Amino acid sequence: MKKALKYIVSQIVDNPEKVEIGELEDQEMINFTITVASSDMGRIIGKNGKVIRAIRNVVKISAIKQNKKINIALIENTPQPLA
C-alpha cells in the first residue's frame, strides 16, 4: 500500500523528490503520513478535498482486502530557516 500511495502522490505533485510517506501500523489500523512541499499541498488536497478523498478511497480498497483500516494525514514540508 505504501508503494502505491507514494506512486499516486508523486504523479500529482510538481516536486516528487520531496514526497515522503510515513507508515505506522497497529493491530487493525495503518496510519500513513504524506509529507509534500508547501507549494504542492493544494494539488494533493484538490478542490473541496476531492483529490485527497480519492487517494484515500483507492488505498482503502487495498486495506479492506487485508482486513485493516487506514488513516491518511497530510503534513506540509516547510523549509528550515538558515542559522
Residue 14, domain CATH: 3.30.300.20
Q: Identify which of 6-10, 23-27, 79-83 has the greatest average pLDDT.
A: 6-10
Q: What is the pLDDT of residues 27-69, one digit of tens each?
A: 889 999 999 988 999 999 999 999 999 999 999 998 898 888 9
Q: Which of 71, 9, 4, 16 is nearest to 46 (CA)?
A: 9
Q: How many CB atoms lie within 10 A of CB 32?
A: 22
Q: Which residue has the cell 510517506?
A: 21
Domain boundaries, position 43: 2-77
Say if 36 falls within a structural domain. Answer: yes
Say if 7 falls within a structural domain. Answer: yes
Q: Which of 72, 64, 63, 71 is nearest to 1 (CA)?
A: 63
Q: pTM of the prediction?
A: 0.81
Say if 83 falls within a structural domain. Answer: no
Say if 82 falls within a structural domain. Answer: no
Separation of alpha carbons 63 and 79, rounded Å:
33
Separation of alpha carbons 62 and 52, rounded Å:
16
Residue of 53 and 26 predicted with greater confidence? 53
Q: How confident is the model at residue 23 (pLDDT cuts 50, 70, 90)?
A: very high
Check whether 78 has a pLDDT greater than 90. no
